[in-house]
Amino acid sequence: MIWLIAFLCCFLFYGIIPTILIRKTGFRIYRKGTQSGMIALTFDDGPDPYYTPRLLDILKKHQVKATFFIVGTKAKKYPDIVKRIHEEGHEIGMHNYRHISNWFVFPPFLQRGLRKSAEAIEQITGQRPIYYRPPWGHFNVCTLFLQKKYQTIMWTNILGDWKLHVGVIELFQRLKNSLKDGAIIVLHDSGDTFGADKNAPENMLAALELLLKEEGARKMRWVTISDMMNAQTKKQISSV
């Protein structure tokens, strides 16, 4: 019993409390833009050989740019998809090397995984990623110190699209309700991670297609994370 209590205390102070504090205070994370009319659409957990190419077709059709936070092992497995993401003008950031919560990753392994992911992406695209999003938005007590090379990107809206019971119409409504100035929206182009339903991206693609046909969505400027951050910097400079 003593060992169990000790383990739970370590788990609490190593992962859960840092996550709560960082997300509550916004310490060293970027989670919302300030420019009116701008929205950043982001996709986690890919690339997926079936869903990601179809997603790219939809984005190309509607002339929407997005940011993909990809898993390092999947980048190595599907380099042609990563290359296509890059060549079509989208931005690429990192998830972990494997889709594992930072609550269960010790600092040396996290550091090595981020390095391996960055190297894999750079070998494919010629550009080293500068953005990072931890799986499930989980931090640990060392995360922010180990990822000083990368800007951590969180979100304003995460819509539960990894579950099939969130059907197309419900997800479409959630997307519509997320269309706010400076929003960073999270969707998922893969359903093979822990806790996700394998075919859930099918609903995501259908809901996104419906959204991008809406007049309200067409009035928004869909930008990458870099576009959003650069616009904010220019605004700050011009106000000085």
* Residues belonging to the active site: 44, 188
Q: Which residues pair with 30 in a beta bridge?
A: 153
Those residues whose C-beta lies under 8 Å from the C-beta of residue 125, and which sit 6 or more positions away, are 82, 83, 86, 92
State the DSSP H helix or E strand holding residue 146, giving kind and residue range, or none if neither: helix 143-146
Q: What is the DSSP letter of 137?
A: G
Those residues whose C-beta lies under 8 Å from the C-beta of residue 79, and which sit 6 or more positions away, are 124
Residues recorded for the chain: 240
d(CA 181, CA 32) in angstroms, rounded, equals 9
- CA–CA distance from 153 to each of 20, 72, 143, 160, 164 (Å)? 16, 17, 13, 18, 26
